[in-house]
Amino acid sequence: MSVGISDWGGVPASWNRRHLLGIEGLSADEITLILEQAERFRAVLMRDKGYENNDRKIPLLAGKTCVNLFFENSTRTKTSFSLAARRLGMDVVDFSASTSSLSKGETFIDTVKNLEAMQVDAIVVRHSCPGTAMLLAENIRANVLNAGDGAHEHPTQALLDILTIRQRFGRIAGLTVALVGDIAHSRTARSNIWGLKTLGANVILCGPSTLVSRHWESLGVSVSYSLDKILDRVDVFNLLRIQFERQVIRPFPSTREYSHLYGMDAGRLSRTKSDVLIIAPGPINRGLEVTPDVADGQHSAILDQVTNGVAVRMAALWMCINEKK
Ligand code: ASP
């Protein structure tokens, strides 16, 4: 029997959030609900048998409109939010900040209120200012999904990372996950820490002391300044990009030195667990945080993460808009 829109079911009764602003504050049950819905949407995307039409679409949100409001560059997040909305049958509008009336002096909130007056249902926002998504949610009626606010949070990135880990290991609790690199400026790191800790993983932050402060330990994570020392006790390495665009001062003398000390290469990989998983939020800088052979090798799930990104964003849109059919 095929499963289609009529027997998809409603948003789980225990989900009652209109916005996805961050992972901080979500319960383990809420995170798990999103992951479970994302698995179902992934099956539609992958044309797994059992789904009607077999066209990678399930128009649960037909007639609704989503605006992509990106004030920072994006490849994966913007494209996959657009695709996710379209797979759910939504109309999608891409807002171009640089050619808008913002450059004529209109305030951010006025711009968004004008967009909302056009009767949009959801706004996906990325901005360099921490708190932008929260500000929007407090000022407009539409559902707000945070696609990255400065170095603060990137909730859908963490959810897709966690989904990828869960697919590989079947669990999160008890795993040791190392976030390696520019913790100080990474919104991916923050969202991952909240999500992984809430689901019971052990989290190690690893990088140079200029990018990983001991203050992070107050969040219940451990800190290591040596990648070599933790290689054999980690299940998942999440290799974070050096966020040059957010750094005010250079945090290390040279990128060559950084990759020598913190880059994941074949030599280091050979000293990890045999079933180690390598993930990275992208964009990856080949040769800096990870060498090409490792990025493209059998332990890497970097492209699975991208597939999961569409599924997670479908789940987040559907659950926040909370349209029960
Ligand atoms: N794409 C992720 C972000 O927007 C990670 C990165 O840019 O390094 O935060």
List all residues whose CB is within 6 A of at least one atom of ligand 1: 148, 154, 157, 187-188, 241, 281-282
| CATH 3.40.50.1370 is held by the domain 5-152+307-321 | yes
In the chain, beta strands by DSSP E: 65-70, 91-96, 122-127, 143-149, 176-180, 202-206, 222-224, 236-239, 277-279
Question: What's the pTM?
Answer: 0.95
- Per DSSP, the residues of 177-228 read EEEES--TT-HHHHHHHHHHHHTT-EEEEES-TTTS-GGGGGGT-EEES-HH
Pocket test of ligand 1: the residue of 81, 149, 154, 279 to mutate, having most ligand atoms within 8 Å of its CB, is 154
b/e 80-115 (16+ beta carbons within 10 angstroms → b): bbbbbbbbbebebbebeeeeeebeeeeebeebbeeb
Asked if residue 309 lies in contact with residue 282, where contact means CB atoms within 8 angstroms, the answer is no
- For the chain, which residues make up each domain, given as ranges? 5-152+307-321, 155-303
Give residue 216 CA to ligand 1 midpoint distance, Å. Answer: 20
Identical topology for domains 5-152+307-321 and 155-303: yes
pLDDT tens digits for range 202-254: 999 999 999 999 999 999 999 999 999 999 999 999 999 998 888 877 888 78
pLDDT tens digits for range 45-79: 998 767 777 788 899 999 999 999 999 888 999 99
In whole angstroms, give the CA distance from residue 131 to residue 315: 23
Fold of the 155-303 domain = Rossmann fold (3.40.50)
